């Protein structure tokens, strides 16, 4: 009798853990499908970064004319 109670308890415990594992896996995949919540702060940062990236696309490096007389004097 005592042996049967322990075997029954072990089987119930094992089935419980299996059900819990399946539930965790299902929950994980559902969580993956949901969109991630975004805050106002994060949206502002993304917007400012996009504006900065557009500015950098239009940025042109300033060019300077070199004075040949100074360069030749330094090389001597």
12-26 per-position pLDDT tens digit: 999 999 999 999 999
pLDDT at 73: 56
Q: Determine the average pLDDT of the residues in 53-71.
A: 78
- Residue-by-residue DSSP string for 11-73: HHHHHHHHHHHHHHHHHHHHHHHSPPP--HHHHHHHHHHHHHHHHHHH---------HHHHHH
Cα distances (Å, whole numbers) of residue 25 to 15, 22, 53: 15, 5, 39
| 48 — pLDDT class (breaks 50, 70, 90) | very high
Q: Determine the average pLDDT of the residues in 35-61.
A: 88
């Amino acid at each position: 009798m005592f042996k049967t109670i322990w075997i029954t308890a072990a089987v119930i415990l094992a089935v419980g853990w299996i059900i819990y594992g399946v539930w965790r896996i299902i929950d994980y995949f559902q969580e993956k499908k949901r969109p991630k919540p975004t805050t106002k702060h994060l949206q502002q940062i993304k917007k400012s970064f996009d504006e900065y990236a557009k500015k950098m696309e239009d940025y042109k490096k300033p060019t300077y004319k070199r004075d040949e007389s100074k360069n030749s004097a330094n090389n001597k």
